[in-house]
Structure 1
């Protein structure tokens, strides 16, 4: 903006040429140009406009034409909203506005925005108010996110309440009657209805509805075409029909059909099963209404959940009917037996789908339970940390609790990804026998003094390619499970067999291998036969509440599968259990394949190195740049890959390292890193991700990876390591 001000044609500006500006304006402009916070000054009777680079982003398409213009002309669309604040500032009074809603037109269309800003008077050398100064920040993203979160929480609460109500009924019509009543009352509607489509999909029958007092019932048979072309096209294509005001949006004849049954606004949600329009659920209001995305999403979810519950109810009823019919069948009537058998197969398929929904519900409930426990610890600790009179010892204790809880949450996420086979693995080739020998002491510590750890390892080397951290975690999880099964006393045998074949496991065909078979056998109580099929289910545990998450063995299962192997067990009640982890063997490498860890140099931090941070999330981006500043780095922040490439310029020489998120709109972090490796091979790139399907499928492509949540110490260590590596490979300057 400094360059733009120097090259700007000021002949048409009420401010005149900068050489003629009074000292108070010059000092104010100097202040705002040196700040990264969005700022502007409006000076003189016509409030001539000057702003900095950060504010240019807020202007959108109004930049750079806004430079030197009249404030009222630049923001004409919001002038009536802000002129009282401007008048107060020009009268000598500073103002403060927090999350003020404003409708801006900065990209050719109106958009709702929110801003927090202050207006302060600018006084000249004679202490007269000569203009006004503004420092502002756009809070649109945060305000919208908070609103969306509130809507989502309200939707979840309603859906939960709707599920306690509907679950008590075994009748489909009763379920739908409850659903329409609760949905209409929740949204304050005049009517909510459900309908079945005719076989030809040209008409439908409204079988039941709920109508508010003063609104007519709309039960009956209707032709879809009578409601207009949009109804036929949208619903026929499986899209919801959304009408805010039928008199304004539809042809008079089409609107008349709605008006005749007392409807001005409607959302009609189609239910498509097996490619056919099967049923409808609709919400209506007697007056025009601007439907929100929240209301549309809620109706869609209620429709799917209601019909899923109805299908379960009908499936149970059909099963009972089938069983009763089978008992009465004459065994000599082969044709009737075949018909009933066919119906049973169809019923079983519906039940299987219901069981899948149950499994998803169990998984979701387990995740919510564990994360809410962790969030409770964090929130309570933060509440105490905000107290100004908190003793230092207690402050340290609460800070430690927050740090420890974040680590537990990160571990829980890692275990979930492991079960789903979605964690990002970083495999290296290791001698598994040597690794197990080194782990024996760790397992001895984990299991306790009353458990004897026995190792049976071959003398010859045996190599596997695995993520070492996940491999060790799997062994610890199996050891902890064995310890608990032995009630803390017994013998744990760690055994390795090389060159093994993979036996058939859980219906999957075996493989000749070779595989390394790592087994842990205990002398515990064994697993009851009726529970053996559920051993690897997530959140399944026989332990008391608070004694286990049920994720340990599911992590072992996910790790084994993602590593190209499998896991199985043999168990005899009262004698013990042996879990065996099968992992593919690989040829020995020229070196051990173990990563060489250099001794960390003692450095105070960034020492002024220049980091380009690429992060689309505003809150995370601010946090990352802040901790990098605190570590001694100089940072530049880009919110997407395209902006990052612009800031890097033709050579990238202004930066020492790029620190980029993986999942971003447009070009992702991995694609950006690959491009930079080709364009600027001497510029190191560090990636950060909480989870990415690209990384889980293809790995890190040779780039350094920080897993979220990361600590300031982890960021510092990784950045120092890659910068040191860059210095080692860079050629010495010529004298």
Structure 2
């Protein structure tokens, strides 16, 4: 079949089709005229269908199959009258004319075809010509079919939009705009009903003020709950266009089909308007019969919806602007009228008159509330002719429960018809003073209902929102002017009183100043005595316990020596020494709290310090607490007293242990921290580099109130006798005295973190040396001479004993001047041991400085029980100087003496 050489779909279908069952017979017996005509049809890019024979057997090409839609491929080989039954009469005429040798031509011809299961209106350009057989007789008809529906719809759409623009251009009422747009669209779409409306704040209620085409339904606004008509609301809220061909068939509307059909909506399209994620408006087009909505129709509906929304909102904006301008002009005139008025009653008289005339009401009045807010007194009103004055006193309750509820809550009372909206008793009260409708605005100051302003009409009235807004604004402004007048009167009275007071001002100021100073001094004295009482009470309790232990132990030692039982003395010595150590710790805590303790700062590697303390901490914590050490790599050095830092860390660990009675986790962490200006100011430190030592536990934690007081002296949450309340305050004082800071972060029930922050120090840290084993054996001297200066004979005696035991020669002095005389002599002195606090006008540091003038290489050991700022200068002792604090053990003193003696002389 060379006449079907093409590779299109229809060429293949024609080759394989069983033509024997059609009037055309087998394809291989077709006459040449039919083959030739078929080849022309199949090869053409234009939609062509050939109707052969009396029956009009259909042979068409690929382009026509697209036009045929769902009817293809069933149309191939069918009789044209059967293939298109909805236009059978039209095609019957085509066959008669064509087989008679005639031609037909149609432009934009309208037909209703069923190509997709639903009838649709289409427009086409149609040209029909006869096809001749070998004998020259008409054997069939060729139809060229060009659909113009899209072009025609586009043209119609343009015409509709032009008419819409023309219609909306001169309209400024939102309801009229919506009605005009609905009518133009409904007419163009040949729809049953069209409406544009706004969505209420609930997102599900539609209000249509002027629907079009609802002849069978009562006139007036429509308020529709969309969920009563199907399950499509959620889709509209997402911005989806709802297209329903038949409400009886669509799952979204099947349940509500009856209600929809009563509203002429067998089929419909809903186009939502969504702004900022909210459904704000909707345009609907409904048809009383099932209808397939073409894409062109949907595009037109959407376009009309958008343009209607724009026009409606433009009109509303213009209306609001016009109302705002009108309100502004009135308020401006009112403001000018009362701005220079100096009398409150005149202000309110002008206000009520201008408001009453502007709003065309019967009465405008103002009132003051009674002190108990149960009643009010109308002080002034304005009334039209024929309306009587309502000035007088009234009970608020006489105007009904609604009036009491609204006005006492600070809300306006709005009544359009007292007879219809209020109780008979309340309506009777209003009626008795000639009021049928009212708006009453309450004025609330500092939570109290203080005044009222109202407009009334002697006939029922539908109040507009503008009426309420204007009365609200006027109420606030008028009372502001009333308050201005009152303030000006008070100012004048104050000026007069001030003038009178100025005459005696100096005397009054002196008297008042004296009273304030006396009160302030009394308060300071009271606070001072309270603090002293708290301090001395706590110290007395702790030191009485310690003195009892020391005194009791000494008595028992004396008794056992008298009984010749020296073997029993050791336990009492141990008890007394333990009490002394606790007393020393307590005094150190006090000094640290006051930031007056004597520190021995040295370049320190905190990682090394923590490592040396780790074993002790683990033993102290016990098996129920997991201890983890996280040491920072390349940790900076710091200048600090390592012994005090060890005490502080151990104190924090013990506090953490006490907070974890059932076990938990303890973390000791070090880190480098650089603090910027803002952070530094917040913790009262200079900006720069710091080293942090953090102790974290998973214990009971602290409430914010407890954490805020944790560093206060004597504050403790432990039972009486289990803590002095100086531990954390000592750590705070030590950190601040060392140039750093400390803070707590805690969550009740989750744990506590305490961070000690110390400044970075760039000096080289001494290499770690071997631990020296301490013992009671005193070092041996070689006849060196030691000058001991101390005002306490017992201290001089004990130091002398230590020196004698060690083989040193001792010279004693009781005060600074005596010691300085010895130092200025030619006597041999290898070491100066001096207390810091000395009588006689010279302290220990001053003696040492004077001695260094004459003896530059003199080695000096300070003994102190109380810090003096001049002992340690710039955070460190001078070369050749060392320090030991009272109280101390004798072996510690001997070790310090040996270290001082063995230190290399300093070159000056």
Compare relative contact order (CA 8 Å, sep 6+) and give the higher one, 1 or 2.
Answer: 1
Rg larger in structure: 2
